[in-house]
Amino acid sequence: MNMIVLAIILAITVEGVVEIGKSIGKAVLGASYKTAATQVVALVFSCLLCLAAGADVYGTLGVHFAVPQLGMVLTGVLASRGSNYLSDFIKRLQSVSGTATVK
């Protein structure tokens, strides 16, 4: 994989993870503890589910990490935000990497 494409994919990933962290942090600081707890539970459950299923969006796009489970955990982090968020995220990654549609 081209290093420029890899760097862009990783930058998009960092942006997504930071946005999730900001969302949880904002809920905690705003004393919306139910919202924060719901988001954390969704995050943990989603990561565990992706690990159990071997779901790895990054591997599908040709990005392989030194720690094999990291792609599955990151997929779980992104999936915890919901299907629309993950779908938009995958489209952004695909447009950068030039891969075919994931089904």
Report the number of secondary-structure helices (H) and strands (E) in the chain: 5, 0
- pLDDT tens readout for residues 7-62: 888 888 898 889 889 999 999 999 999 999 998 999 999 999 999 999 998 898 88
> How many structural domains compose the chain?
1
Structural domain includes residue 102: no
What would the two tokens of residue 82 be? 């919901």
Whole-Å CA distances, 76 to 3, 5, 14, 33, 90: 24, 22, 14, 22, 13
Cα 45 to chain centroid distance, Å, stands at: 13
Nearest to 9 by CA among 84, 92, 88: 92
- AA identity, residue 5: V
Structural domain includes residue 82: yes
| Containing structural domain, residue 51 | 3-96
Neighbouring C-alpha atoms within 13 Å toward the C-beta of 2: 8
pLDDT of residue 102 exceeding 60, the answer is no
Structural domain includes residue 101: no
Structural domain includes residue 103: no
